[in-house]
Structure 1
Amino acid sequence: MVTHLSTTAFRNMGLHPDLLKALDSLGYQFATPIQAQALPLLLNSQDVAGQAQTGTGKTNAFLLAILNELLTLPEVEGREINEPRAFIIAPTRELVIQIFEDAKKLSKYTDLKMCVVFGGADYDKQRKAIEQGCDVLIGTAGRLIDYFKQRVYNFYALDCVVLDEADRMFDLGFINDIRYLFRKMPKPTERLNMLFSATLSHRVKELAYEHMNSPQHIHVEAEQVTADRVRQLLYYPANHEKLPLLVGLMQKYQPEKAMIFTNTRRQAEKVWLCLKGNDIKAGLLTGDVQQKRRIRLLEDLKQGKIEVLIATDVAARGLHIDGVTHVFNYDLPDDAEDYVHRIGRTARAGAEGDAISFAGEDNAFNLPAIERYIESAIPTADVSPDLLANIKPSASMERPAHRGGRGKGHHKNGPGKSNYRGKKPNQSSRSRGQSE
């Protein structure tokens, strides 16, 4: 994840005036490194396979490319309003929602219509949104395939395709769904293709060569995630000191937006109860929280209704929340890569942030692997008595009522319970060079 901007100004990249106006209103003047590398290629109709972590600005890179393409390229003759011109596939609902929100911001001075689809939400409402007009369709693979088979939309007018976090598609078992969708699209030479992944592994490269038109590979190093703008600090608390230390640090820093990571759901619930009992507005995000509840929790954090979100790694994958100032590793993760992922929730897009970790009795042995992975030692601080808050004893001993059953209960701020018509050929508005 980058911690700096390039010297390339958006105004010098040949973007459509409506996009420049939106960028100015958002305060974006200079491109991040991946934007500076990818956009000139994409604006020249060159397919791109990019290696980049979250927080590098890749979402705006492919959104700007898509929107510029749609604003400057004529539509397919006879296109109907439910035939999307751009198609974005992402692995998680949270990431899909974030892409949708970013797309709305960048397209606010245009007439382009964005649609978002994902499981666990109102089926008919999402369907009607597509039927009422859709230029850019963003979604998870399962719901996209469902609507395609139901002939809610088709690929007749498709100009641009994005596959985001391709490596996670493999990890989550979605790759057969992705291949299905690609096979239903126009030929790779008839569309602009973008693929982004944290790692360009052999299987990801194979996918790119199979479904893209001679993509140009670009790579943004991720090692800067632990440098410069992320201030790291490490404490060695005894187990009985962890909750008092956490509450004490929360009281000391009073972060506007914070995230706390634990290794297990049980620990996450324990931390949530403690913070709740000590008058800290906190939300709990674990793997069993229902989708509507997840969305509401993220909105509560964004709007300041809660100060901190407590999460496990599984639940937090794909989260993109602007303005997180502090990340607390209540438990050191078992996987060194998860440490990088966690602290990358702060210091996004050139901002600064703090990452504070506890090397407790149960997981301090994970520290050497983490420091080898980030190629540096994490600065340490003493657990001084003045940092340990006087917490209410009962706050850390309570158990959520639903834990006696199967997750049935609910707590406030806690866990919740191609259609081709035959009359049109499979063509697009471009002929994009030689075939592969």
Structure 2
Amino acid sequence: MKQSHLTETRFSNLELSDSIIKGLKEASFINCTPIQDRALPLLLRDKDIAGQAQTGTGKTATFLLATFQRLINDESEQIKNPRALILAPTRELAIQIHKDAIQLSSYLNLKFALIYGGTDYKKQLDRIKSNVDVIIGTPGRIIDFYKQNAFTLNNIQVMVLDEADRMFDLGFIKDIRYLLRRMPPPEKRLNMLFSATMSYKVTELAYEHMNNPVVVKIETEEVTSKAINQVAYCPANEQKIPLLLGLLKKHHPQRSIVFVNTKRSAEELNSYLQANGYKTALLSGDVPQEKRQRLLADFQESKVTLMIATDVAARGLHIPDVSHVFNYDLPQDVEDYVHRIGRTARFGASGEAINFICEEYAYSMPDIEDYIGEKIPVQAISDELLADDIKQPERKPRRKPSPDKRSAKPRRYEHGKAKKSASESASTPENPRSPETA
């Protein structure tokens, strides 16, 4: 962490147990970030917090440390678990919170259950039944296990709701309220809500299910960080791949993410980059969970330094040292722009956001500039920037139909309705309610 992003307040000066401070020192956490400096003293006195803070500001450590201290302070003669519930909108964010929890609790005797949809059903069910202290996960599967009486919410002392605005975006609020109404009343637990935006809906949720929360806003005057250098180019569609290859050669990114809007575009770009000598990871909505975790681990460990991603990767990923973000396709939602470029310049580092204002998505740029409150400078595309001698990706040979299927008529219609071709289906933007958020 760069000192410019930190305050003068040291964790050792807060009312945290020695065992927590020891874990913090081991993780090289010495000084607080602004959200930690303002929220932790209140939380450690059992005041509820509704915090407005972007990702990369240290909010995860804020709610984890407050949770740990509250559980350590529990002097019940007979401790009944689970005692804390941390809810996240996506499985990637839940996995990251769990990873941070394990690291920061290395000297504490706490047991965690990581719960999310898509994989490991039996393993997670067994875990949540095993008398754990803290449940971290996404709402859908937690409710599934709750309805099976795998655990009780009667003893919850700490409730954390992370990225509350994203919960609304993904339609999870009914699930959230279902869980909140089955816990002890708000005044009998410590409640924390964090959100990038404090909209009316988020504020209403906070006051309905929390105990007179203190609103803590950590925001700079600009929507995007000054540490991110934003530039744009205006390529014709046929110039996009030569321009990207030229920029990658020019900048030699330490670690970069290239954002696209559709799965089809991601696959095409991935083929070109691999054909031209780049080792890539492709992250889209239909990548199976285990493969996705493996790809993210390879990227975090720099086994792969170039990731192509749809907006499924824009939120909730805490990947350090991403030096460059490329918006190969401009996003169609202005908030997605902020979340995309926010993958770089984290924890006080600087970063580059390079945007392609192409023929297909150019209409998005005026709305993006209005939203962030600044003009993004456009640079000319010189001949030197456009890569030449581009290797074409190999065409995958079409599989021949088996002999028994050659005579069969192609089933292009069903019940009088034409079925979409694979290419049509693949080129539609990803559904935000895709399985990875379940």
Which bracket does the TM-score occupy, shorter chain normalised?
0.7 to 0.9
1:67 is aligned to: 68
Give 1:235 shift: 1.8
Name the counterpart of 2:83: 85
Match among 370, 393, 406 for residue 368 of structure 2? 370
Equivalent of 2:149, from 148, 151, 154? 151
Report the residue type matching 2:318 in the other structure: H
Query: How far apart in 2 are the matches of 1:372 and 1:329?
Result: 18
For 1:259, which of 253, 257, 261 is the aligned residue? 257
Superposed counterparts of 1:83-122, under 5 Å: 83-122=81-120
> What per-residue deviation string (whole Å, max 9, x for no partner) do you get for residues 395-417 of structure 1?
2977999957988xxxxxxxxxx
Q: Which residue of 1 aligns with 2:25?
A: 24
Cα-to-partner distance string for 1:129-172 (whole Å, 9 max, x where unaligned): 22334111101111111111222211233211101111222221
Shift of 1:123: 1.0
2:280 to 266, 282, 301: 282
Q: Give the residue type in structure 1 aligned to 2:321.
A: G
Pairs within 5 Å for 1:169-248:
169-221=167-219, 223-224=221-222, 226-248=224-246
Instruction: Output the amino acid matched with 2:161.
Output: L
2:54 aligned partner: 53
Structure 2: distance between partners of 1:219 and 1:165: 14
One-letter identity of the residue aligned with 1:395: P
Q: Structure 1, unaligned stretches of length 5 or more?
A: 408-436
Question: What is the CA deviation profile of residues 201-255 of structure 1, one whole-angstrom value per residue up to 9, with x for unaligned ones?
Answer: 2222221122111111111215545343212222222222211111122223332
Pick from 334, 337, 361 the counterpart of residue 339 of structure 1.
337
Paired residues of 1:231 and 1:353 also in contact (CA < 8 A): yes
More deviation, 236-245/101-110: 236-245
Between the aligned partners of 2:152 and 2:397, the Cα distance in structure 1 is: 49
Superposition deviation, residue 393 in structure 1: 4.5
Q: Deviation of residue 284 (structure 1)?
A: 1.4
Q: What SS does the corresponding residue of 1:395 show, helix, strand or coil? A: coil
Amino acid at match of 2:151: Y
1:56-80 deviation digits (Å, cap 9, x = unpaired) = 2111111111112222332x33335
TM-superposed deviation, 1:360: 1.8
- TM-score, structure 2 length as denominator? 0.86
Give the Cα separation in 1 of the matches to 2:232 and 2:200: 36
Distance 2:283 2:73 in 1: 42
Counterpart of 2:165, as a letter, is: D
Determine if contact 1:273/1:398 at 8 Å carries over to the other structure: no
Count of aligned pairs: 405
What residue number does 1:44 align with? 45
Question: Deviating runs (4+, > 6 A) in structure 1?
Answer: 396-402, 404-407
CA–CA separation in structure 2 for the residues paired with 1:234 and 1:193: 42
Moved more, 116-125 or 311-320: 311-320
- Cα-to-partner distance string for 1:23-65 (whole Å, 9 max, x where unaligned): 2222222222111111111011000111222222111111111
**Contact in 2 for aligned 1:262/1:329 (Cα 8 Å):** yes
Amino acid at match of 2:53: A
TM-score norm. by structure 1 comes to 0.86
Question: 3-state DSSP class of the match of 1:306?
Answer: coil
Which residue in 1 is equivalent to 2:429? none
Distance 1:259 1:215 in 2: 37
Give me the whole-angstrom Cα distance separating, in 1, the residues matched to 2:253 and 2:187: 49
Alignment partners' CA distance in 2, 1:398 and 1:258 = 27
Query: Does structure 2 retain, via aligned residues, the 8 Å contact 1:86–1:135?
Result: yes
